[in-house]
Amino acid sequence: MIKKFLILILAATMVLPFTACGASGDSSTDTAKEAAAETKEDPAEESAEDVTYQSLLDDYTQKIKDATPGLVEEYNSEAAGAAGDINKLAEISNAKITKLAEISNEGITKMAELMLKSGDEQATYEEWAGKLMAVYTEYAGQITDAYMSNLSSE
């Protein structure tokens, strides 16, 4: 019963990154930002005409994939110092998931800009944004799995 309650709380807190505004004040190693910076394309390589929903999905999927292992590692490292403190573990998990959400939100924003620029239907944007959200959800699940692993080992 307690685990189900905790899972519900975690699921509810995973929604927060999509409604939050502003940057996190987390001073830990910012793996997500580093990975995003490393994978940014040279603006000269891809002109505005070459940007498609597929290219945005591919780019931001890769950024999420690249950031996730480091974020899981950061979570595990920080969680070791918070063993037994369920609130602190949830806070650490949410901070790492938020970093992935920032990458996803950036990609979704670029998709929205593409929709407005190209005059596409809202449904087209929603379809592609949904695909990126599915990628985010899949990889955020790896951080959630690490969190759940900490809870079940206590």
Q: Where do the structural domains in the chain lie, given as residue ranges?
A: 49-154
pLDDT band (50, 70, 90) for residue 82: confident
What per-residue confidence (pLDDT) applies to 150? Answer: 82
Per the CB < 8 A criterion, the answer to whether 148 and 89 are in contact is: no
How far is residue 111's CA from residue 99's CA, in Å, rounded to a whole number?
A: 19
High-pLDDT (> 90) share of the chain, %: 57
How far is residue 7's CA from residue 12's CA, in Å, rounded to a whole number?
A: 9
Taking residues 46-68, what's their average pLDDT? Answer: 90
Of 30-34, 53-57, 67-71, where does mean pLDDT reach its minimum? Answer: 30-34
Taking residues 24-44, what's their average pLDDT? Answer: 46
Return the biggest CA–CA distance within the chain: 55
Q: Against a cut of 0.85, is the pTM above it?
A: no
| Spatial CB neighbours of 94, under 8 Å, sequence gap ≥ 6 | 13, 14, 16, 17
How far is residue 127's CA from residue 104's CA, in Å, rounded to a whole number?
A: 14
CATH code, 49-154: 1.10.132.20
Closest CA to 70 of 40, 34, 39: 34
What per-residue confidence (pLDDT) applies to 47? Answer: 59
What per-residue confidence (pLDDT) applies to 133? Answer: 97
